Amino acid sequence: MKLFRYGPAGGERPALLESDGTIRDLSGVVQDVNGASVTPDGLRRIAARDPKTLPVIEQVDRIGPCLSGVGKFICIGLNYIDHARETGNQAPVEPVVFMKATSAIVGPNDNIVQPRGSTKLDWEVELGVVIGTKAKYVSEARALEHVAGYFLANDVSERALQSEGTGQWTKGKSCDTFGPIGPWFVTADEVPNPQALRLWLDVDGVRRQDGTTANMIFSVAQIVSYLSGLMTLHPGDVIITGTPAGVAQGMKPPAYLRPGQVITLGIEGLGEQRQTVIADSA
C-alpha cells in the first residue's frame, strides 16, 4: 500500500493511493498515518477495507509529511563509500549515528527555508525507513520484520553548522524545513529488496546524485539491528540511511544552494519530491 497525508500544514488527513492513481480518503478508517497505523494491526485494518468503499479525493493541493507524530528521527551518516570519499572521510567501520529534530519535518514539496546567515546549504537524497514493531536487541536476520515500510527523504544540511565551529551534525541537520519526507509511506511488502533501489537528485534540472541502495555500506537490516542495540525502536520512529555521492560539499568548487533554486529528487517506487529554496523572512 501507498499511504500519505494531504491538506494544509497541521490539518492533514490520511489517504490511500491506489495503483491506478485514484486517491481515497482514509479518515473513516484511521485517525492519521502515524505510529499506531503503521503497526501490523494498523496496516491490517487498512488493508481489510475495500478501497472502492472509501471516498475519492478529486484534488490534492498539498501533500504533507508521509508520517505524523514521529518519535525519533535517526540518521546514518557516510553510508555510501563514494560519498564518504567525496567529503574526505574514510568508510566507517560501524554506522555513524546522529539525530535530526522532528520539528524539521515538512511535506515533500514544501519550500526549504535557508536559515539566516547560512552559507553552505546542501542536499542529500536518502532512503527512509519506518519502524512498525518494537525492536530491542534484534538480530540482523530478523531486523526487517520490524520495518513497516519506506519513504523518500531529503536530508537537507547546513555544512557550516555541521562541520565548523563546534562541528555538531545534529545542529547542521535540524533547522526548520530540513526534513522533507514523502510523498508516500510505502509498505514493506511493496519493497521486497530495499538494497536494490535507484535514487537520484537534480538541482535546477541538472543531475547531481544518481546512485543505488546496493552501494550502502550498512544495509537496512544491519542498521536496524545496530540501532536496536543502542536504543529501543518504537512504531513510528524513522531512520534515514545515508546518501550517495554528488552533494554540493563534494563539488570543486562547492556549489551550495541559493534562494530560488529548485531541487527534485526520487527513489524507484517511492515517488518524487520538488522543493524551492527560499530565504528566511521571519
69-78: pLDDT as tens digits: 999 999 999 9
Q: What SS3 class is residue 157?
A: strand
Which band of pLDDT confidence, cut at 50, 70 and 90, is reported for residue 221? Answer: very high
Could you report how far apart the first and last alpha carbons of the chain are, in Å? 38
What's the pTM value of the predicted model, to 2 decimals?
0.96
In a domain, 59, yes or no: no
CA atoms within 13 A on the CB side of 200: 11
Say whether both 40 and 143 belong to one domain.
no
Q: What is the pLDDT of residues 162-199, one digit of tens each?
A: 988 787 889 999 999 999 999 999 999 999 999 999 99
pLDDT of 95 over the 80 cut:
yes
Res. 89 pLDDT band, cuts 50 70 90: confident
pLDDT at 87 over 80: no
Q: What is the pLDDT of residue 90?
A: 81
123 in a domain, yes or no?
A: yes
Residue with the bigger pLDDT between 144 and 82: it is 144
Sign for the CA dihedral angle at 5, 175, 118, 255 comes to negative
Contacts of 138 (CB under 8 A, 6+ apart): 145, 146, 224, 225, 228
Q: What is the CATH number of the domain that holds 150?
A: 3.90.850.10
Domain-embedded: residue 65: no
Cell, residue 11? 490539518
Q: Which of 95, 104, 93 is nearest to 77 (CA)?
A: 95
- In the predicted model, what is the mean pLDDT of residues 246-264? 95
Those residues with Cβ within 8 angstroms of residue 118's Cβ, 6 or more apart along the chain or in another chain: 158, 160, 161, 175
Residue 215 shares a structural domain with residue 78: yes
126 and 259 together in one domain: yes
90: CB partners within 8 A, 6+ apart: 84
Give yes or no: residues 46 and 157 share one domain.
no
With vertex at residue 263, the alpha carbon angle to CA 215 and CA 90, rounded to the nearest 5 degrees, is: 35
pLDDT value of residue 88: 77
62 domain residue, yes or no: no
Give the 3-state secondary structure of residue 99: strand
Q: Are residues 88 and 227 in the same domain?
A: yes
Q: What is the structure's pLDDT at 217?
A: 96
Helical (H) or strand (E) element with 151 = strand 147-154
Does any domain span residue 68? no
Q: Are residues 152 and 24 in the same domain?
A: no
Q: Which domain holds residue 49?
A: 2-53
Q: Residue 228 domain-assigned?
A: yes
User: What domain count does the chain have?
Assistant: 2
Residue 222 lies in a domain: yes
CA dist., res. 64 & res. 181, Å (int): 8
Q: Please compute, for residue 171, the number of CA atoms within 13 A of its CA located in the half-sphere on the CB side.
A: 11
Distance of alpha carbon 118 from alpha carbon 128, whole angstroms: 26
Whole-number pLDDT of residue 166: 81
241 in the same domain as 143: yes
- Are the C-beta atoms of residues 167 and 237 closer than 8 Å to each other? no
- Do the Cβ atoms of 238 and 131 come closer than 8 Å? yes
For residue 23, give the H/E element and its range. Answer: strand 23-25
Better-predicted residue by pLDDT, 82 or 154: 154
Domain check: are 200 and 233 in the same one? yes
Residues 108, 165 within the same domain? yes
Q: What is the chain's mean pLDDT, rounded?
A: 96
Residues 209 and 80 in one domain: yes
Task: Give the max Cα distance, the chain.
Answer: 56
Is the domain of 12 the same as that of 84?
A: no
pLDDT for res 258: 97
Least Cα distance to 201 among 157, 154, 158, 242 occurs for 154
Cα–Cα separations (whole angstroms), residue 1 to 44, 46, 212, 221 = 11, 9, 23, 21
| Residue 102 located in a structural domain | yes
CA dist., res. 114 & res. 121, Å (int): 7
Looking at the structure, do residues 148 and 27 belong to the same domain, yes or no? no
Q: Residues 188, 147: contact at Cβ < 8 Å?
A: yes
